[in-house]
């Protein structure tokens, strides 16, 4: 269980502070509530939800363990422990949707993408709007609104920029969608129809294979093999 939680924190780390300090007397305790001896070097993981996680050693090592400031992060530890151990954790599956005629009348279409954060091999994939709004802590998600009707060059340019913005928030979006995948031109010329079909085929062939259920609970980062110690 300990290694699974450390792997999850490593995968979700936004900032890593090495050589953050050394423990003072009775400042920290371990997961069992035992005081951590003074003088132990520690580093800090700041996760994407802006939580601080203290671990032994000046930088991350295979025997690093999580330590908790007295009166501090115990509830966060319980949250992550429950997340890893819960049998009710929901895994999302790919759900590729297409614009309707109503969408084409409005000229825009919103898609939703997700990526599992505790598995380094996972790819970005499309999900439904309903899944986007579900509470699924092991996924990072991002919405993307594309223009799907208008002048080709204008739509392509604006969609390219929108995809880049989404990709900056969730790496891999740029590989899951193309700027003109759902585009319908104002003047439906033969060249535009052929281009639209080509983009749709490319979008389908570049989609990763998504497996449902079960999911991997641990990433490969962090080198958290074996038991920990001070």
Domain count along the chain: 2
Q: How far apart are the first and last CA of the chain?
A: 18
Q: Which of 15 and 76 is assigned the larger pLDDT?
A: 15
Tokens of 189: 């010329």
Q: Report if residue 42 sits inside a domain.
A: yes
pTM, 2 dp: 0.49
Q: Report if residue 219 sits inside a domain.
A: no
Closest CA to 8 of 81, 111, 106: 81
Q: Report if residue 9 sits inside a domain.
A: yes
Distance separating alpha carbons of residues 212 and 228, to the nearest angstrom: 32
Q: Are 11 and 65 in the same domain?
A: yes
Q: Are 188 and 147 in the same domain?
A: yes
Q: Are 106 and 193 in the same domain?
A: yes
pLDDT digits (tens, 9 = 90+) for 90-133: 789 999 999 999 999 999 999 999 998 867 788 999 999 999 99
Residue 18 has pLDDT above 70, yes or no: yes
Q: Are 33 and 10 in the same domain?
A: yes
| Phi, psi dihedral angles at 150 (to 5 degrees) | 145, -155
Where in the sequence is the domain holding 15, given as residue range(s)? 2-88
Q: Report if residue 229 sits inside a domain.
A: no
Distance separating alpha carbons of residues 165 and 26, to the nearest angstrom: 46
Q: Which of 26 and 145 is assigned the larger pLDDT?
A: 145
Closest CA to 208 of 178, 163, 179, 172: 172
Q: Are 57 and 127 in the same domain?
A: no
Please report the pLDDT score of residue 5 as a whole number. 80
Where is the domain boundary, 53, 88, 123?
Answer: 88
Maximal C-alpha separation, the chain:
76
Residue 191 has pLDDT above 90, yes or no: no
Q: Which of 44 and 224 is assigned the larger pLDDT?
A: 44
């Amino acid at each position: 269980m300990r290694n699974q939680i450390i792997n999850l924190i490593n995968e979700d780390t936004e900032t890593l502070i090495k050589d953050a300090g050394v423990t003072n007397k009775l400042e920290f305790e371990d997961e069992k509530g035992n005081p951590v001896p003074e003088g132990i070097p520690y580093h800090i993981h700041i996760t994407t939800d802006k939580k601080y996680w203290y671990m032994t050693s000046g930088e991350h090592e295979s025997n690093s363990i999580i330590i908790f400031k007295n009166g501090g992060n115990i509830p966060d530890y319980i949250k992550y422990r429950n997340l890893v151990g819960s049998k009710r954790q929901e895994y999302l599956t790919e759900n590729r949707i297409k614009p309707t005629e109503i969408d084409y009348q409005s000229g825009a279409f919103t898609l939703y993408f997700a990526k599992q954060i505790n598995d380094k091999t996972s790819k970005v994939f499309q999900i439904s709007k309903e899944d986007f709004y579900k509470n699924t802590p092991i996924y990072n998600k991002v919405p993307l609104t594309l223009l799907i009707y208008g002048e080709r060059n204008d739509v392509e340019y604006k969609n390219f920029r929108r995809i880049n913005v989404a990709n900056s928030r969730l790496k891999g979006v740029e590989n899951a969608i193309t700027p003109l995948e759902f585009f319908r031109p104002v003047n439906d010329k033969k060249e535009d129809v052929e281009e639209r079909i080509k983009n749709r085929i490319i979008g389908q062939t570049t989609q990763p294979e998504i497996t449902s259920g079960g999911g991997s609970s641990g990433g490969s980062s962090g080198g958290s093999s074996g038991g920990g110690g001070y």
